[in-house]
Amino acid sequence: MAEGSPDIAGLSFEDALRALEEVVRKLESGEVPLDQSIDLYERGEALRKHCQARLDAAQARIEKIVTGANGEARGAVPFDADG
């Protein structure tokens, strides 16, 4: 990781996504030397993994409220469950 870069594990999803977008812009520009491109690619992969982990954690927390006939909540099921 480049000196002065924030620790990836401490980044919010939004900050990590912005950093990943910046890495992609730099790599796509074609103006970065090879060694720096490799470093950027490695940072980009770490940022991608961090973002994916944050998304996976968020999805695991999302629940759909199941209501009874009277409209009261009677429980919750995982977001992606049928029903």
Helix axes 34-61, 13-29, angle to 10 degrees: 150
54-83 average pLDDT score: 68
Per-residue pLDDT tens digits for 5-60: 569 999 999 999 999 999 999 999 999 999 999 999 999 999 999 999 999 888 77
49 by DSSP, 3-state: which? helix
pLDDT recorded at residue 58: 83
Domains of the chain: 8-78 (1.10.287)
Q: Which long-range contacts (CB under 8 A, 24 or more apart) does 53-57 make?
A: 54/12, 54/13, 54/16, 55/13
pLDDT recorded at residue 5: 59
